[in-house]
A and B are shown apart, each in its own frame.
Chain A
């Protein structure tokens, strides 16, 4: 891939790159720094990209690698939460209805922010960018099976958090197991 092709791609997906970086670091200004730094690294290593159709996941992978180089604590956080067996069987309720009646969106954003980086990244790559499991595996550099597991755990953790919030506020009137 030539420098111009890479530049053209990066310019055309600048919004997606920034959104991804912003979800990683939580700061719009820091996200743009991260994207620029990642782009510079991609330029220097573009010979490693064999398949042009995979250029976007490859760029995202580089941006994430850079982020992780600066934020090594994410790994520690993952081990703390991964052991929670309740995540494989979260409660069921009527969150959709409650969402309409409350300010749940803030709690959802908070719950998202509290997820381990690996889970949150997999979830957002899936829900927001609609990447396949295989593409997500390329970006986060893990097996497809791990992506599947992280996605399930992220969703379960979000449901647990939201149901807990609803119960605390006495707004969840739905069936609880």
Chain B
């Protein structure tokens, strides 16, 4: 085989030649000092280009700008299409029979959005042990909070969210790389089967009463999956 073209050597280096052609080039390299030297120089050039291409990492400001872009877009979209009213109406129909105003729910979903997107972990208690988290809430709430031990999700931590002067416990989980927020909205008569609504500030909200507590799960799962996750988690309650 005569010397391969520079373009063939370049593509061979990238593993982008067809198998037969690549084999021919490699075989040629074994017996050709000139082509071997050229290939070595190309190899060196690869690492030199990588080293010369360092860019300072994205600033926190960029991440905040991306988040802000979505928020502005959602606000504009809601205004334009009247989705704010539609969402509120849907919430009234599906969720509010279980108490709580849409504002509280929207605020809590906003908390979920903030921690999910920014990756910040502003927890008051960081633990994967439900007992530790439950003990942390003891004395801080008017009721005894039970934190589900989900077999399919890892508990990350918990905190109290203040909305309108009231404290709402939040337990955050990681389920296969996706963030789930479980809020407790207070005590309620029950049990009551889960009810779900998609598209609440872009997320799926499911509520279910178990052990006398009104739980609300916020996730980006479709309605059916979110309901299944919540039901499974609450079925693990002692």
Contacts and interface: CB of A to CB of B under 8 A. Distances in A.
20 contacts: A4-B202, A5-B220, A7-B66, A7-B70, A11-B119, A14-B63, A18-B62, A28-B55, A32-B62, A35-B66, A36-B65, A92-B37, A104-B48, A126-B14, A127-B46, A127-B49, A149-B7, A152-B7, A152-B10, A158-B49
Contacts of A92: 34, 37-38, 41
A100 to B, nearest CB: 11
Q: How large is the interface on A (under 10, 10 to 19, 20 to 34, 35 or more residues)?
A: 35 or more
A7 B70 CA distance: 8
A43 B69 contact: yes
Given A14-B66, A88-B5, A152-B10, A96 B55 contact: no
B100 interface: no
B57 interface: yes
A112 B53 contact: yes
B70 A156 contact: no
Interface of A: 2-5, 7-8, 10-11, 14-15, 17-19, 22-23, 28, 31-32, 35-36, 39-40, 43, 88-90, 92-93, 95-96, 99, 104-105, 108-109, 112, 123-124, 126-128, 132-133, 148-149, 151-152, 155-156, 158-159, 175
A32 B65 contact: yes
B62 A123 contact: no
B57 to A, nearest CB: 5
Given A3-B74, A11-B117, A90-B6, A23 B55 contact: yes
Nearest to A107: B52
Contacts of B38: 92
A5 B38 CA distance: 44
Interface in B24-81: 34, 37-38, 40-42, 44-46, 48-53, 55-59, 61-63, 65-67, 69-70, 73-74
Contact of B41 (A8, A35, A96, A105): A96
B49 A88 contact: no
B52 A112 contact: yes
Nearest to B219: A4
B55 A123 contact: no
B6 A3 contact: no
Contacts of A7: 66-67, 70, 117
B45 to A, nearest CB: 6
Most chain A beta carbons < 10 A, residue from B16, B34, B62: B62
Contact of A19 (B41, B55, B69, B117): B55
B144 to A, nearest CB: 33
Contacts of B65: 32, 36
Nearest to B53: A128
A108 B49 contact: yes
A105 B52 contact: yes
Contacts of B73: 3, 40, 43
A80 B65 CA distance: 38
Which 7 A-B pairs give the minimum distances between C-beta atoms?
A152-B7, A14-B58, A152-B10, A18-B58, A96-B44, A19-B55, A127-B49
A90 B6 CA distance: 8
A62 to B, nearest CB: 13
Contacts of B45: 95, 155, 158-159
B15 to A, nearest CB: 9
B196 to A, nearest CB: 16
A148 B220 contact: no
